Amino acid sequence: ARPLRVLGIETSCDDTGAAVVTSQREILSEAIHLQHKLHEAHGGIVPIVALASHSAHLPGVVRAALDQAGVKATELDAIAVTRGPGIHSCLSVGMNAAKTLAAVLGKPLIGVNHMEGHALMARFTEQTPPQFPFLCLLISGGHTLLLVAHDVNHYTQLGTTLDDAVGEAYDKVARMLEIPWLEGRGGGPGAALELLARRGDPHRFALPVPMRHSTRVGGMDFSFAGLKTAVQRELRRLPSDEAVKENQRADMAASFQYTVIAHLLDKLGRGFKWCRQNGIDATSLVISGGVASNQAIRASLSRLAENNGVPLVCPPAKLCTDNGVMIAWAGMERLQRGLIDDYAIDIRIRWPL
Ligand code: KG4
Ligand code: ZN
């Protein structure tokens, strides 16, 4: 039998993506339309602007994915689409398109949890795919999730953020530091902050590591709002001399990133401990989501994983950020387990894994 082919559609946030992948873990095609330019001026994503852009570009992106793959729509085995979590208007564009496509073609429809898409990406990109169960840290603009992945569709959430997501903190601090966004795929404010941080001294500003003295023993939740405020406070205390300020921007970026990493390491350490105490033999540490493309974070987490006797598994940077491939692949994993949805399903703005 020929390999299965799934079309994946992603419109949960600000990227319009479509891709076709096979059960042999090949990318037949990958099309994406980015909206960075539209949102930069506003300093964040404006839902109505995102909606208009998804509506305008999704048909062309899907057409491009099919053409590039050299696959007729009738030769697909399923249509997968991000069902949630995400922005209401944005999710609706993808969901309506996918439902209609699937119904017209008489193909299975698979509604994918965006975060499961990020989590399963590592099983697509690795030569030796990480086997279940694995410990998984998903860090993006909208989410900070520490999970145990037991199987497809079966997760235990160990921790989440109590306030801002990691990527959101990167974005807000980048804004305070007035860093221009990096253009192109995998760009945005977070990637720009990472670049600036490379030139800075991470010990120049002593920022408090969030929740280090928390009394909740074993707590695996995250918090980034206090850190953001601490950066703001330090910035206000800087001399008003513009030249001095300019020099210290890189130090602030580096100090912020250093503290974020310390916080992630604290919580992941607890995650590994939790696994041991609960008889879960994690095969690996998987990280994904836009922030997981950060090289400094990867390097530190890789050492932590090694100390816990497992490999760090992380998809290539461009597959860590939102894209159609991750939805197509999660759809494939679900299709292979018979997890198919009704054409009447609706989007889920909030959808815990
Ligand atoms: O997963 P993603 O593409 O979209 C969401 O689902 O949110 O993640 C986007 C987030 C943004 O906050 C962006 O600034 C951040 O990931 N990001 C980074 C880096 N690249 C993207 N944050 C830190 N370092 C990076 N290199
Ligand atoms: Zn994402």
Q: 3.60.15.10, 1.20.58.1910, 1.20.210.10, 3.30.420.40: which CATH number matches 132-310?
A: 3.30.420.40
Separation between Cα atoms, residue 248 and residue 204, nearest integer Å: 9
The two structure tokens encoding residue 139: 């860090």
Phi-psi category of residue 140: left, alpha or beta, with phi > 0 → left and psi -120 to 50 → alpha: beta
Q: Which CATH class is domain 5-118+320-335?
A: alpha beta
ipTM for the predicted complex: 0.98
Separation between Cα atoms, residue 293 and residue 297, nearest integer Å: 8
The rounded Å distance from CA 310 to ligand 2 centre is: 25
Ligand 1 nearest-atom number relative to CA 142: 7
Ligand 1 nearest-atom number relative to CA 166: 12
Nearest CA to ligand 1 atom 2: 290
Give the ligand whose atoms come closest to the C-alpha of residue 293: 1
Give the ligand whose atoms come closest to the C-alpha of residue 171: 1
Domain positions in the chain = 5-118+320-335, 132-310
pLDDT in 10s for each residue of the chain, 353 residues: 899 999 999 999 989 999 999 999 999 999 999 987 787 777 778 899 999 999 999 999 999 999 999 999 999 999 999 999 999 999 999 999 999 999 999 999 999 999 999 999 999 999 999 999 999 999 998 899 999 999 999 999 999 999 999 999 999 999 999 988 777 666 678 999 999 999 999 999 999 999 987 666 569 999 999 999 999 999 999 887 777 777 799 999 999 999 999 999 999 999 999 999 999 999 999 999 999 999 999 999 999 999 999 999 999 998 998 999 999 999 999 999 999 999 999 999 999 99
Helix and strand counts by DSSP (H, E) for the chain: 11, 10
Give the ligand whose atoms come closest to the C-alpha of residue 319: 1
- The separation between CA 311 and the C-alpha centre of its own chain, rounded to angstroms, equals 20
The rounded Å distance from CA 255 to ligand 1 centre is: 19
Could you tell me the pTM of the whole model?
0.93
The two structure tokens encoding residue 286: 């998987």
Ligand 1 contacts (CB < 6 A) are: 13, 140-142, 167, 170-171, 186, 188-191, 194, 289-291, 293-294, 321-322
User: Would 5-118+320-335 and 132-310 be classified into the same CATH topology?
Assistant: yes
Beta-sheet strand order (sheet of 15-22): 27-34, 15-22, 5-10, 78-84, 109-113
For residue 91, give Cα distances in angstroms to 18, 50, 196.
14, 10, 33
